[in-house]
């Protein structure tokens, strides 16, 4: 994989997550915004080789933490879920929109809840409506994610290496 | 020359990266927040693009007989603040009439700051502002709306050039308040918490207290930071606490939707050694 397009895309994604621009499409009283970086996480984790997928997941999680207010929770959760998505991608048809949406929804739910619990362990901060907010954000991201996905496919056309690993070689839980 | 090429297995890469993540997680926030602020300081111009979350839209009245909602809210806040100041002045006057030495006048500097962005996470109600420790801001400083007539949050973290403001509606924010009523003797001290949904709750108030919807809620005065109580919101709902029937569960609606603000004013603490006026 070439890392330059990846770096540019996650940089733009991080700025979108941290900035005001996504407020334009925020919904409801909780101002639910789609999670851009989770789409990148699922896309790259599903498309890349094992080691690259793990490094990409780690970097995306790290940037998610840097754009927030505490370091660590997203780095760990994105790494864990990125690895799992990488393994699960063998059994899913990632070109199907409903499979993409399902992966984005599940990945967001898992990463956000793990990051929330780790953050609560670190700072003691809790939020009564966390699960509800996470569910709504995950649903919104899953609705919008496949459109980003097709954009990412176009941007990365020919840049992602052809799969040189068989399904049995992929993943780290073997 | 032979070059040895090391290649980590997938499992080894995963373990190594996981260890790095755990180390980051274990590092104290005081150390890691510098990275967060460095990012925000560097990319503040880009992060400002867009707009703050949409607030409640207010329709203007057709007739001159009606005051626009926005004007009404402003006047109501000013009235409540003036009333609170009047009560404080009355107390001060009574004290001064008994003792000849004057009351200490605490320094209260005001710093106006621009909001760079709202919270990056929907789980937290926070603002990132472009003034920091270099301007005297520190954790605990009160943050007011731009007109300077209502408290909207408290500074939770600060770097030299920036600060993170936790809004009163954040689920992890608590503040000492006083509940008062126009023209009545009601003055109840309580602790208010954000509910994480754009409102606040007050618990642990005895049901003997005559609290009603519409009563005003003020941030309690704190020497050096807040000389007189300032309005936060009004009581929206009062009902018995489900777990402790002898107590009230009070819901407070802030008068300002702080997430829509573009500018805020921060009250800074008395700098050490500054001359008393």
**CA of A48 to nearest chain B CA: how many angstroms apart?**
12
- Residue A27: inside a domain, yes or no? no
Instruction: Give the pLDDT confidence score for residue B139 in this predicted structure.
Output: 87
| Count of structural domains within chain A | 1
Residues 42-101 of A with CB under 8 A from B: 50-51, 54-55, 58, 61-62, 65-73, 75-76, 79-80, 83
Using a CB-CB distance cutoff of 8 angstroms, which residues of chain A are in contact with residue B10?
50-51, 54, 171-172
Q: For residue A132, how far is the Cα from the chain centroid?
A: 19
Question: Would you call B25 and A72 a contact, using CB atoms and an 8 Å cutoff?
Answer: yes
Mean predicted confidence (pLDDT) in A147-152: 86
- Residue A86: inside a domain, yes or no? yes
In this predicted structure, the answer to whether residue A41 has a pLDDT above a threshold of 60 is: yes
What is the CATH superfamily name and number for domain B109-267? Rod shape-determining protein MreC, domain 1 (2.40.10.340)
- In tens, the pLDDT along B58-114 reads 444 445 566 777 777 778 878 888 888 887 787 777 765 654 443 334 445 788 888
**CA of B102 to nearest chain A CA: how many angstroms apart?**
43
Using a CB-CB distance cutoff of 8 angstroms, which residues of chain B are in contact with residue A26?
53-54
Question: Would you call B14 and A22 a contact, using CB atoms and an 8 Å cutoff?
Answer: no
pTM of the entire structure? 0.72
Give CA–CA dist B33/B11, Å, rounded: 31
- Residue A172: inside a domain, yes or no? no
- In tens, the pLDDT along A61-116 reads 999 999 888 898 999 999 999 999 988 887 777 778 888 899 999 999 999 999 99
Task: For residue B76, count CB atoms less than 10 angstroms from its CB and return exposed for 0-12, middle for 13-18, buried for 19 or more.
Answer: middle
Residue B216, beta-bridge partner list? B180, B234
Q: Where in chain B is the domain with CATH 2.40.10.340?
A: 109-267
In this predicted structure, the answer to whether residue A60 has a pLDDT above a threshold of 90 is: yes
**CA of B138 to nearest chain A CA: how many angstroms apart?**
16
Give CA–CA dist A46/A30, Å, rounded: 31
Domain that holds residue A95: 3-18+38-158
- Nearest chain B residue to A87 by CA distance is B10
**Residue that wins the pLDDT comparison between B91 and A144:** A144
Reduce the DSSP state of residue B190 to 3 states and report it: strand
- Residue A167: inside a domain, yes or no? no
């Amino acid at each position: 994989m070439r890392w330059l397009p990846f770096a540019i895309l996650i940089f733009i994604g991080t700025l979108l997550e941290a900035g005001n621009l996504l407020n334009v499409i925020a919904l409801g009283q909780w101002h639910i915004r789609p999670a851009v970086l989770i789409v990148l996480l699922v896309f790259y984790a599903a498309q890349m080789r094992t080691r690259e997928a793990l490094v990409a997941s780690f970097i995306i999680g790290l940037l998610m933490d840097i754009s927030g207010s505490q370091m660590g929770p997203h780095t760990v959760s994105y790494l864990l879920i990125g690895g799992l998505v990488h393994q699960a991608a063998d059994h899913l048809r990632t070109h199907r929109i409903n499979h993409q949406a399902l992966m984005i929804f599940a990945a967001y739910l898992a990463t956000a809840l793990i990051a929330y619990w780790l953050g609560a362990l670190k700072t003691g901060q809790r939020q009564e409506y966390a699960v509800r907010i996470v569910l709504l954000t995950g649903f919104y991201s899953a609705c919008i994610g496949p459109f980003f996905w097709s954009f990412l496919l176009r941007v990365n056309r020919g840049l992602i290496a052809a799969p040189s690993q068989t399904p049995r070689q992929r993943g780290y839980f073997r | 020359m032979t070059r040895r090429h090391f290649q980590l297995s997938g499992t080894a890469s995963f373990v190594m990266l996981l260890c790095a993540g755990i180390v980051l997680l274990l590092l104290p926030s005081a150390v890691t927040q510098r990275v967060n602020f460095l990012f925000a300081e560097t990319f503040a111009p880009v992060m400002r693009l867009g707009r703050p979350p949409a607030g409640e839209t207010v329709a203007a009245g057709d007739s001159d007989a009606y005051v626009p909602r926005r004007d009404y809210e402003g006047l109501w806040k000013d009235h409540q603040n003036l009333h609170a100041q009047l009560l404080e002045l009355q107390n001060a006057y009574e004290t001064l009439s008994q003792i000849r030495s004057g009351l200490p006048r605490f320094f209260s500097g005001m710093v106006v700051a621009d909001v760079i962005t709202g919270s990056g996470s929907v789980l937290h109600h926070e603002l990132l502002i472009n003034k920091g420790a270099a301007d005297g801001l520190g954790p605990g400083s009160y943050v007011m709306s731009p007109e300077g007539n209502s408290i909207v949050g408290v500074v939770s973290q600060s770097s030299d050039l920036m600060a993170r403001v936790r809004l009163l509606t954040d689920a992890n924010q608590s503040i000492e308040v006083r509940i008062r009523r126009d023209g009545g003797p009601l003055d109840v001290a309580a602790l208010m918490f954000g509910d994480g949904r754009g409102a606040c709750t007050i618990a642990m108030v005895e049901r003997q207290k005559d609290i009603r919807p519409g009563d005003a809620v003020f941030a309690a005065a704190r020497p050096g930071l807040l000389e007189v109580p300032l309005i936060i919101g009004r009581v929206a709902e009062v009902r018995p606490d489900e777990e402790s029937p002898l107590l009230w569960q009070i819901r407070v609606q802030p008068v300002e939707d702080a997430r829509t603000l573009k500018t805020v004013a921060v009250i800074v603490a008395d700098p050490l050694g500054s001359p008393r006026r």
